[in-house]
Amino acid sequence: MINLQSDHVKKRIFSGIQPTGNLHLGNYLGAIKNWVNLQNHISSIFSIVDLHAITVPQEPLKLKSSTHEVTAAIIASGIDINKSILFNQSSVKEHSELAWILNCVCRIGWLNRMTQFKEKAGKHKENATVGLYGYPVLMASDILLYKSTHVPVGDDQKQHIELVRDIASSFNNMFTPQNEPDFFTLPEPQIIGEATRVMSLRDGTKKMSKSDPSDASRVNLTDTKEEISNKIKKAKTDPFPLPDTLDELKNRPEAYNLLSIYSSLSDQTLEKALTEFSGKGFSHFKPKLIELAVETLNPISCEMRNLLKNTNEIDKILKDGELKAREIAEPVLKDVKKLVGFVN
Ligand code: TRP
C-alpha cells in the first residue's frame, strides 16, 4: 500500500508567461487580463517561466531585469498576491525534478509532432537545444505539479496541452496503483476572449510579437500615452469604412484586429463593438480606440514604473509566492517519487 499525501483538488488553474523582452498588448489581452478575472473564481497559480526562457539563449542580466519587469506588469495589471500565487519557476526546484521524471514517460514520437518546436528551431534543427525540444515536457511538469485542472493559454499552446494530457494519462497508466483513482487529473485548456490573438499593427496576418524588429508593430505595456497614440494612428488599415457583418470583417485582417482589440479592451463582444462602428471610417474609429487604449494601459504602465523603482520589494513578492507554491508542489512530487518506486 502506498500512502499518498497530496490532495485531490476540484479546480485549479496554472498558467505561465516567459520573462523575455517587453510585454505588449497581446500579452495583456491574451493572457494577463484573463488571469485577473479568473483569480476571483478559482484557485490560481501564475508563474514567470524562466526555465522555459533559457531554452533559447538569454543574456543573464537581461533575464533578471525581464523577470522583474514581467512580475511588475502582472501585479500592475491587477493580479492580487493575496488571492493568487505568483512566483518564478526556477525558484521551485520541483519543476525541474518532475520534468525529468516526465521525460521518462513522454515519447520522442509525441514531441516530434510539436509544431512550435519546428517553427522555433527552423532550418537549424540540429543546432536547437535539447531544452527547446523538451520544452513541452517542462510545461507538463508545471501544470501537473499542482494537479491543475484548467490551463488558460493562447491558441498556439493548444497542442502542448494535448501533449500534457497524453503524458498525464500515460503516467496514470504506468503508476497509479490498482483500485485507486487516477493520480493526475487531465487538464483542460481554456482559450478565452475575443482578442486572444492580437495581431501586429503593421500586418494583420502576423501575431503581435516581442521579437518583431519594428517597435511600431506592437503597443508595449511600458509605452507612454504619446507612443500608444502614435502607434495606433499609424497602424495599417484599409481604405473602406467598417463593415456591417462579422463575415465581412473577417476578410479584412487589419480592421478585424483593431476592432478585436477594441472589443477586448472594452469587455464587449466583437459583434457589439462592430454595431457601434459599422459604416464609420477609421478616422472616426481610431481616436476612440486610442482613448480606450490609453485609459486602460496608462495606469498599468505608471504602476509598473513605480514597482520597478524597488526591485527588492519585487524579489520579496516572488519569494513569498515561491513558498506558497512549494507547499502544494512538495507533497505532489513526493507522491510521484513514491509511485515511481524511488526510495526516499
Ligand atoms: N509555453 C507557454 C507560452 O509560451 C508558457 C508556459 C510555460 C505555460 N509553462 C506553462 C503556459 C504552463 C501554461 C501552463 O505561452
Instruction: Assess whether 11 carries a catalytic annotation.
Output: no
Instruction: Assess whether 120 carries a catalytic annotation.
Output: yes
> Which residues 6+ apart lie within 8 Å of 56 measured at CB?
120, 129, 132
CA-based nearest residue to 326, from 146, 79, 58, 132 = 146
Residue nearest to atom 6 of ligand 1 (CA): 16
Residue nearest to atom 9 of ligand 1 (CA): 139
> Residue 138 CA: which ligand 1 atom is closest?
9
> Residue 136 CA: which ligand 1 atom is closest?
1
> What is the percent of the chain with per-residue pLDDT over 90, rounded to a whole number?
88
146 Cα: distance to centroid of ligand 1 (angstroms): 14
pLDDT of residue 136: 98
pLDDT of residue 194: 52
**Contact in structure between 202 and 237 (CB atoms under 8 Å):** no
Residue nearest to atom 8 of ligand 1 (CA): 16
CA-based nearest residue to 230, from 240, 247, 218 = 218
97 Cα: distance to centroid of ligand 1 (angstroms): 17
pLDDT of residue 284: 96
The string of pLDDT tens digits covering residues 86-115 is 999 999 999 999 999 999 999 999 999 999
Q: Is the C-beta atom of 14 inside 6 A of ligand 1?
A: yes
Pocket of ligand 1, candidates 46, 142, 164: which has the most ligand atoms within 8 Å of its Cβ, to mutate? 142
31 Cα: distance to centroid of ligand 1 (angstroms): 10
CA 160 from chain centre, in angstroms, equals: 12
Length of the chain: 344
Residue 80's pLDDT band (cuts 50, 70, 90): very high
**Side chain identity at 322, as an amino acid letter?**
E
> Residue 148 CA: which ligand 1 atom is closest?
14
The string of pLDDT tens digits covering residues 257-284 is 999 999 999 999 999 999 999 999 999 9
The string of pLDDT tens digits covering residues 273-320 is 999 999 999 999 999 999 999 999 999 999 999 999 999 999 999 999
Pocket of ligand 1, candidates 13, 15, 94, 208: which has the most ligand atoms within 8 Å of its Cβ, to mutate? 15
* Set 83, 93, 206, 210: catalytic member: 210
Q: Nine-digit cell at 193?
A: 476572449
Q: How many CB atoms lie within 10 A of CB 126?
A: 6
Q: Is the C-beta atom of 139 inside 6 A of ligand 1?
A: yes
Instruction: Assess whether 62 carries a catalytic annotation.
Output: no
Q: Is the C-beta atom of 318 inside 6 A of ligand 1?
A: no
Q: Is the C-beta atom of 142 inside 6 A of ligand 1?
A: yes
**Contact in structure between 324 and 46 (CB atoms under 8 Å):** no
Pocket of ligand 1, candidates 153, 156, 159: which has the most ligand atoms within 8 Å of its Cβ, to mutate? 153
16 Cα: distance to centroid of ligand 1 (angstroms): 4
State the chain's mean pLDDT as an integer: 94
